A and B are shown apart, each in its own frame.
Chain A
Amino acid sequence: MRLLLTYSFSSLSSHIHAWLISSMGDGMAALVAEMVIVGISLIVFLVPLCFFLGYMERKVAAFMQLRLGPNRVGPKGSMQIVADTVKLLFKEGLTPTASDKFLFNLAPVIVVVTSMLVMAPIAFAKDFQIWDLSIGVLYVTSISSIAVIGILMAGWSSYNKYSLLGAMRSGAQIVSYELSIGLSILSVIVLTGSLKMSDIVMSQQNGWWIFKGHLPMWISFVIFVIASTAEINRAPFDLTEAEQELTAGFHTEYSGMKFAMFLLSEYINLFVVSAIAATLFLGGWMPFHIGHWELFNHIMDFIPSSIWFMGKTFFIIFIIMQFRWTFPRLRVDQLLTLEWKYLLPISMVNILLATLIAIMGWHF
Chain B
Amino acid sequence: MSIYEILFWFLTIMAISSALGVILSRNPITSVLFLIVTFFAISGHYILLNAQFLAIVNIIVYAGAIMVLFLFVIMLMNLNADVEPQKGRLLQLAGVIAGGVLFLVILAALKSATVLPLEKTSSDIGLIKNLGRVLFTQFVLPFEISSVLFLSAMIGAIVIGKKEETKNPLTP
Check A152 against B53 for contact (C-beta < 8 Å). Answer: no
How far does the Cβ of B16 sit from chain A's closest Cβ, in whole Å? Answer: 21
Contact at B33–A145, with CB atoms within 8 Å?
Answer: no
Contact B128 A195 (CB under 8 A): yes
> How many chain-B residues does the 8 Å CB contact rule pick out?
22
Complex interface residues of chain B between 16 and 30 (CB less than 8 A to chain A): 29
Per DSSP, are chain A's interface residues mostly helix, strand or loop, or mixed? helix
B59 at the interface (CB under 8 A from A): yes
**B65: chain A residues within 8 A (beta carbon):** 145, 175, 178
Cβ of B36 within 8 Å of any chain A Cβ, yes or no, is: yes
Q: Is A125 an interface residue (CB 8 A)?
A: no
Task: Give Cα A202–Cα B57 distance, bound, in whole angstroms.
Answer: 25
Task: Tell me, yes or no, whether A156 is within 8 Å of chain B by CB.
Answer: yes
A145-179 Cβ-contact flags toward B at 8 Å (1 or 0): 11011001101100000001001100110110010
| Cβ-based interface call for A337 (8 A) | no
The reply to whether A135 and B52 contact each other, CB–CB distance below 8 Å, is yes
Asked whether B71 lies within 8 Å of A146 as measured between CB atoms, the reply is no
B71–A149 touching, CB < 8 Å: yes
Question: Closest CB-CB distance, A113 to chain B, in whole Å?
Answer: 12
Determine if B75 and A133 form an interchain contact, defined as CB atoms under 8 angstroms apart.
Answer: no
B59 & A168 in contact (Cβ 8 Å cutoff): no
Given A164-B75, A168-B75, do A149 and B67 touch, yes or no (CB 8 Å)?
Answer: yes
Is A46 at the interface (CB under 8 A from chain B)? no
A219 within 8 A of B: no
- List A contacts of B33 (CB < 8 A): 103, 149, 153
Would B52 and A171 count as touching, CB distance under 8 A? no
Chain B nearest CB: distance from A169 CB in Å? Answer: 10
Is residue B107 contacting chain A, with contact meaning CB distance below 8 A?
no
Considering the chains assembled together, what is the distance between the CA atoms of A250 and B88 in angstroms? Answer: 40
Q: In the bound complex, do residue B68 and residue A148 qualify as a contact, i.e. CB atoms below 8 Å apart?
A: yes
Q: Is B157 in the interface zone, CB < 8 Å from A?
A: no
Rounded to whole angstroms, the CA-CA distance of A195 and B57 in the bound complex is: 13
Complex alpha-carbon distance, A31 and B72, angstroms: 39
A49 at the interface (CB under 8 A from B): no
Q: Are B60 and A171 in contact (CB under 8 A)?
A: no
B contact residues around A149 at 8 Å (CB): 33, 36, 63, 67-68, 71
Contacts of B63 in A (CB 8 A): 142, 145-146, 149
A-B contact pairs, 8 of them (CB 8 A): A134-B52, A145-B59, A146-B59, A146-B64, A149-B33, A156-B29, A156-B71, A164-B75
- By a beta-carbon cutoff of 8 Å, the part of chain A in contact with chain B is 28, 31, 100, 103, 133-135, 138-139, 141-143, 145-146, 148-149, 152-153, 155-156, 164, 167-168, 171-172, 174-175, 178, 195
Extra A-B contacts (8), CB below 8 Å, given A145-B63, A152-B72, A167-B75:
A103-B29, A133-B52, A145-B59, A145-B68, A149-B67, A171-B69, A175-B68, A175-B69
